[in-house]
């Protein structure tokens, strides 16, 4: 086996590992957000609570905060009621925290709710959160939800775990992709088609990861579905 073939195989392997890491993380995060959206049968909301912020991952032994910015866009003070429901060990059991306050016109107030490993459902692997802001005309009702993955990796915080994982994923994709491309120069015929497919697949995976980071689960779901479909198509080009 010549050196170019070794680089080709090694680069392809590293690239596949990176793509699988990114796709797997996106899939798990998307499932968590989908579960959080349906685990409480709440009232329909007028608008999405876009300011809801949840950590993607929380390590066992640490606590974290879920936050949301509530703004009074009207021209006078309004009474506000914001309700948070958090899983407590089972997806069908929740603890509820409710905040009542008078909010001056134009004010934005950040609310926070603490979550702990004891809140995790589904075999202590997922914390589900749903936040609902009660309407007060002309202010609309707002609703948002998220799922937080609980892991047990000693010595790191959830934020550090996410950072390391994303860095390794991007490193594998970059290094593996670069090695694979270098071993196929010049890109012609089937190699060119494969490179285009791999580039598109990489774009879907990165898009899905971005959707996970921003909490927009529909982007993650679409990226996972498209990546799976494209992977099946790409398999045929490599198998021939």
The pLDDT assigned to 188 comes to 73
In CATH, the number for domain 39-151 is 2.60.40.10
* Residue 61 dihedral angles phi and psi, to the nearest 5°: 95, -10
Pair of tokens at residue 53: 């912020």
Q: At what angle do helices 3-38 and 189-214 cross, to 10 degrees?
A: 30
Say which DSSP state 40 is in: S
Is residue 240's pLDDT more than 90?
Answer: no
**pLDDT of 32-88, one tens digit each?**
877 777 776 666 788 999 899 999 899 988 999 999 999 999 999 999 999 999 988
Say which DSSP state 156 is in: -
Q: State CA 16 to chain mean position distance.
A: 20
Say what percent of the chain tops pLDDT 70. 94
Pair of tokens at residue 15: 């690239």
Is residue 1's pLDDT more than 60?
Answer: no
Which of 30, 24, 18 is CA-nearest to residue 211? 30
Q: What does DSSP say about strands 142-151 and 108-115: parallel, antiparallel, or unpaired?
A: unpaired
Interatomic CA distance for residues 195 and 188, integer angstroms: 10
Count Cβ atoms below 10 Å from residue 23 Cβ, excluding itself.
Answer: 21
**pLDDT of 193-215, one tens digit each?**
888 889 999 999 999 999 888 87
Per the model's pLDDT, the better-predicted residue between 84 and 155 turns out to be 84
pTM for this prediction = 0.79
Pair of tokens at residue 50: 């876009």
């Amino acid at each position: 086996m010549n050196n170019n073939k070794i680089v080709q195989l090694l680069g392809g392997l590293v690239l596949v590992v990176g793509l699988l890491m990114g796709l797997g993380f996106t899939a798990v995060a998307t499932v968590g957000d989908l579960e959080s959206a349906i685990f409480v049968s709440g009232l329909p909301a007028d608008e999405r609570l876009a300011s809801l912020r949840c950590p993607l991952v929380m390590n066992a032994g640490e606590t974290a905060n879920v936050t949301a910015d509530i703004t009074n866009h009207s021209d006078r003070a309004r009474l506000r009621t914001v309700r948070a429901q958090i899983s407590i060990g089972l997806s069908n059991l929740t603890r509820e925290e409710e905040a009542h306050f008078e909010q001056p016109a134009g004010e934005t107030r950040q609310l926070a709710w603490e979550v702990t490993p004891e809140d995790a459902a589904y075999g202590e692997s997922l914390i589900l959160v749903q936040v609902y802001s009660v309407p007060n005309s002309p202010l609309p009702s707002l609703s948002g939800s998220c799922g937080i993955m609980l892991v047990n990796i000693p010595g790191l915080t959830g934020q550090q775990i996410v950072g390391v994982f994303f860095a390794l994923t991007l490193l594998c994709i970059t290094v593996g992709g670069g090695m694979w491309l270098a071993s196929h120069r010049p890109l012609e015929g089937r190699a060119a088609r494969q490179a285009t497919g791999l580039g598109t697949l990489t774009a879907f995976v990165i898009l899905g990861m971005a959707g996970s980071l921003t909490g927009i689960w529909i982007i993650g779901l679409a990226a996972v579905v498209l990546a799976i479909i494209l992977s099946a198509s790409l398999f045929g080009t490599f198998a021939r």
